[in-house]
């Protein structure tokens, strides 16, 4: 039977007996495949589920959401179908904003199932401002090259570029139009992760996430740029395990 969970989430390494679930939210233009290996790299106590946004890979024909708020609302509804164990969110870049907004929607549940938010390579929601981008092909390609990552190579292939650019441009437009609406802070702790060489998010930017939660907010810097986790995935896994297991213990 088709469910919102089956439509929106991909579990590449199923672990039905895992004690905690990590839900990953990809970056603009990204897909669930960006986190395909994470489940196998993490211990058996953790199951990884990755959000598959509409308009890419096996959801290529699905209609695109028109705003970050809509994307967060539909994702929260899907995740809400399986809040059967302590759950944490990891969002990278645009995904950090989506994860935060989805967490706000799920927070009123009692007791809250959300034990931690990992916000990666993204400014705090209240600091997100439009950059005045035109988002023509050349500007989008230059932006992607500047941020780096494996996805940049896709835009160098003309055929792949024709498939990727429309979705990437759409996501970037959603990011440009996002406006934070003040509200109650989260009650779960936040871990903010930034690459030491990422010029788009500084440590000072990362520390401003502390206003988004009533709990602790910790900033961690890792070697690399905007896509730091592609080069040193095991460093990221160690940080995630530390944050997840400590959050699970506190939740219990």
pLDDT digits (tens), the chain, 252 positions: 679 999 999 999 999 999 999 999 999 999 999 999 999 999 999 999 999 999 999 999 999 999 999 999 999 999 999 999 999 999 999 999 999 999 999 988 767 789 999 999 999 999 998 887 788 888 888 888 888 887 777 777 777 788 889 999 999 999 999 999 999 999 999 999 999 999 999 999 999 999 999 999 999 999 999 999 998 888 999 999 999 988 777 766
Strand partners, 51: 9
Tokens for 138, please give them.
Answer: 């050349």
C-alpha to C-alpha distance for 82 and 216, rounded to whole angstroms = 26
Half-sphere exposure in the Cβ direction for 139 (13 Å, CA): 9
Report the SS3 class of residue 69: helix
C-alpha torsion angle, residues 168, 171, 175, 177 (rounded to 10): 120
Q: Which two tokens stand for residue 141?
A: 């390609």
226 in active site: yes
Residue 114: partners with Cβ closer than 8 Å, 6 or more residues away: 87, 88, 89, 103, 106, 107, 186, 188
Model pTM above 0.85: yes
86, 137, 121, 132: which is closest to 221 by C-alpha?
A: 121
User: Which pLDDT belongs to residue 110?
Assistant: 67
**Alpha-carbon span 201 to 193, nearest angstrom:** 10
Point out the catalytic residue in the list 92, 93, 120, 170. Answer: 93
170 is catalytic: no
Q: Is the separation of the CB atoms in 121 and 195 below 8 Å? A: yes
CA distance 243 to 188: 12
φ/ψ region of 230 (left if φ > 0, alpha if ψ in -120 to 50, else beta) reads alpha
At residue 252, the pLDDT reads 63
From 226, 232, 246, 251, the catalytic residue: 226
């Amino acid at each position: 039977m088709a469910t919102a969970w089956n439509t929106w989430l991909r579990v590449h390494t199923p672990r039905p007996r895992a004690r905690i679930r990590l839900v990953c939210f990809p970056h603009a233009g990204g897909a669930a495949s960006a986190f395909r290996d994470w489940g196998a790299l993490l211990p058996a106590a953790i199951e990884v589920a990755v959000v598959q946004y509409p308009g890419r890979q096996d959801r290529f024909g699905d209609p695109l959401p028109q705003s970050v708020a809509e994307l967060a609302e539909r994702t929260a509804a899907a995740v809400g179908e399986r809040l059967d164990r302590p759950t944490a969110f990891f969002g990278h870049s645009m995904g950090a904003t989506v994860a935060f907004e989805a967490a706000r929607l799920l927070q009123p549940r009692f007791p809250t199932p959300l034990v931690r938010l990992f916000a990666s390579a993204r400014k705090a929601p209240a600091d997100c401002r439009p950059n005045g981008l035109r988002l023509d092909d050349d500007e989008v390609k230059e932006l992607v090259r500047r941020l780096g990552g494996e996805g940049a190579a896709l835009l160098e292939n003309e055929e792949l570029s024709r498939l990727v650019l429309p979705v990437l441009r759409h996501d970037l437009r959603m990011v440009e139009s996002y406006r934070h609406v003040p509200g109650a802070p989260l009650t779960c702790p936040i871990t903010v992760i930034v690459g030491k060489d990422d010029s788009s998010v500084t440590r000072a930017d990362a520390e401003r996430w502390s206003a988004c939660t009533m709990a602790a907010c910790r900033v961690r810097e890792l070697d690399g740029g905007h896509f730091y986790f592609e080069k040193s995935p095991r460093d990221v896994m160690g940080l995630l395990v530390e944050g997840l297991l400590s959050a699970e213990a506190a939740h219990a």
